[in-house]
Every structure is written in structure tokens, then in C-alpha cells.
Amino acid sequence: MRQASLWILVVLFSSCQWFETEKISSDTFYEEELKTIDWEEVDQYPTFKACDHITEKQAQKNCFVTTLTDPIYQTISSKSLVSHENINDTVWVHFSITKEGAFSQVETEIDSLLRTQIPLLDEWIRRSIDSLPQLAPAYKRGIPVAARFGLPIVVKTERSKD
């Protein structure tokens, strides 16, 4: 009996360490959390009013891209472009959307041949972007963030018949 009570006392005193929780400092927790965040991807894409009802991420992206590109394509296609050569080129439009939902740092990458053939293309693209309706910013973990995007625009023309 004496040995049994001695074993119970030993188990009781040594078992307290099994119930202790290890404390993690807030700095360690913060650093571990930062490692898990994908900084290249947003949780919610910027949204135009027409896309507010969409909740699925890929559908949000598609609506954002469509709402952004349609006015640009309409502007370009409404112009009477006459080219002396066949053009099949991609123009890259790089831009940022601020955490307030405004476009900024709009830059275009246009091939020199395309720039020569269609000198007003850059201006048309910028005007189209400026005419877009207000949008809500991108979100990361529920916080509005600035985001940078690249948008390819394919420009195709056929050579004019002289």
C-alpha cells in the first residue's frame, strides 16, 4: 500500500508538466504568420459595381478583366485603322490600383512597329482606362491593399489594299 501511494504521488507531481502549454511570443507568432501569406495573390480582386454580386474568386477576376478590357477593345475597334502591313501584336498595359480603388501608374509596352503604325494607340488605351467607373480595391485578409496588374491587349490588323 505504501508503494502504491508513493507511485501515485510521483505520478501526480510529474504529470503537471504534461498539462502546461508552451507560450509563444507575439513576435514569433507574427513571423510564422507572415511566412504563410502568399504576397503575390490577393484574396479578393478589385471589383467594379457590376461585379459586386460575385463571390467566387475566379469569377471575380473574370468580371474584373472583362469590365476593364471591353471599353479598351471598343475604343480601338471603333477607330478606322489603316495599316500598310499586317499587324498581330500584343500590347501590355501595366497599372496599379490603389487601396482607395483608383488607377495609377498606367504604363504601356508597345512595339516600335505598332507605335509607328498606330501612333495614338497609347492615348486611346489611357483614355479608356480613365473613363472606367470607380472600383473597389483589392483585399488581402479583409484589408484593402494596392495591387499591380498586367493586361495583355491583342491588336490585329490586315494590310490595306492599295
Question: CA–CA distance from 10 to each of 13, 16, 21, 69, 77 (Å)?
Answer: 5, 11, 21, 74, 86
| pLDDT the model gives residue 88 | 82
Quick: pLDDT tens for 74-85.
Answer: 888 887 776 677
Q: Where are the domains of the chain?
A: 2-36, 47-157
pLDDT at 143 over 60: yes
Indicate if the alpha-carbon torsion angle 131, 133, 134, 136 is positive or negative: negative
Among residues of the chain, what percentage have pLDDT more than 90? 15
Taking residues 41-69, what's their average pLDDT?
Answer: 86
When pLDDT is cut at 50, 70 and 90, the band that residue 35 belongs to is low
Beta bridge partners of 152: 92
Ordered DSSP codes for 10-22: HHHHHHHHHHPPP
| pLDDT the model gives residue 107 | 93
Quick: pLDDT tens for 91-112.
Answer: 999 999 999 989 888 999 988 8
More confident position, 1 or 160: 1
When mean pLDDT is compared across 17-31, 37-51, 130-144, the lowest value belongs to 17-31
**Record: fold of 47-157:** 3.30.1150
